[in-house]
Chain A
């Protein structure tokens, strides 16, 4: 996908760049999702999937500590570092999160950091599809 966008000169706008909240590190397999929260219908948000995918958050957390940043800022910083025509659109309803997200473009991730994230991430299997089958169509 990315090479095609590059070839055609099309911008990339990743939605849910924080994994619908999961990559902030503020939830785990014990977090209960409120009534009407659509994440409760998503395969990637079953307690089992959250437990398995916690390794991603741990990875982000480790790098965040080194950079004096938060996991969300590392996730967004990584995305921003991929291609200069990428514009993530994290959602939030809280001013504190808005400010946290806004800090991400100034996080300096070196090519070494990026390689480290990539190589660690490839070793972590992602559990659970993004959407149930009827919404994937």
Chain B
């Protein structure tokens, strides 16, 4: 599989990534864990290096699944996850509203690291723009997390052009989803 670079970042990934949401969320079927782990390993064997998840997928269970599959082969893969929702364990995923307050982002990143069972996240996206938190503050927190070595790259999802420019001025954005 060919490799591609995400913009000017030095983040190199396979030309196709693997979206993992549907393995545990959204399409009405929860798939067998061992089968999904084998599928991810088959993807790696075929040259796929880029895996996409989010805190809200499950919630939490999709990250746990990726942790089981990918943490043993950490050096072969690029792992992307996302923050940005309020999640309560009993709550319907995503129904608790947006939350990109700086403290919440830090907690979410720690939780993702733990569930993925890795010591840094290659690409951390804001899942949805939170109108209550200036994007500069969001980019600023991610910048801190990058300086602490917990995150390698910053991404945005479903953001508009002005939001992207403002975020990028604080912390370069590697990818828009």
Interface residues, chain A, CB within 8 Å of chain B? Answer: 1, 4-5, 8-16, 33-39, 76, 80, 84-95, 98-99, 101-102, 104-105
A89 and B52 in contact, given A11-B6, A15-B177 (Cβ under 8 angstroms): yes
Q: Which of B9-39 contact A (CB under 8 A)?
A: 9, 11, 13-23, 26-29, 31, 35-36, 39
Mark B residues whose CB is within 8 Å of A.
1-2, 4-9, 11, 13-23, 26-29, 31, 35-36, 39, 42-43, 46-48, 50, 52, 80, 155, 157, 161, 164-165, 168, 172-177
Check A13–B48 contact: CB distance below 8 A.
no
A16: chain B residues within 8 A (beta carbon): 19
Whether A9 pairs with B17 at a CB distance below 8 angstroms is no
Extra pairs beyond A4-B161, A10-B7, A89-B50 (13, CB < 8 Å)? A10-B8, A15-B157, A16-B19, A39-B27, A87-B14, A89-B16, A89-B17, A91-B19, A91-B23, A92-B18, A93-B22, A93-B35, A105-B15
Contacts of A86 in B (CB 8 A): 4
Given the contacts A84-B4, A93-B22, A10 and B174 also touching, CB distance less than 8 Å? yes
Q: Which 10 A-B pairs have the closest CB atoms?
A: A11-B6, A9-B8, A91-B19, A36-B28, A89-B17, A37-B28, A11-B7, A11-B175, A89-B19, A9-B7
Query: Could you list 28 examples of A-B contacts with CB < 8 Å?
Result: A1-B161, A4-B164, A4-B165, A5-B7, A8-B7, A8-B164, A9-B8, A10-B174, A11-B11, A12-B176, A13-B6, A15-B19, A15-B52, A33-B28, A34-B28, A39-B27, A80-B15, A84-B4, A85-B7, A86-B4, A87-B13, A87-B15, A87-B175, A89-B19, A93-B39, A104-B16, A105-B1, A105-B2
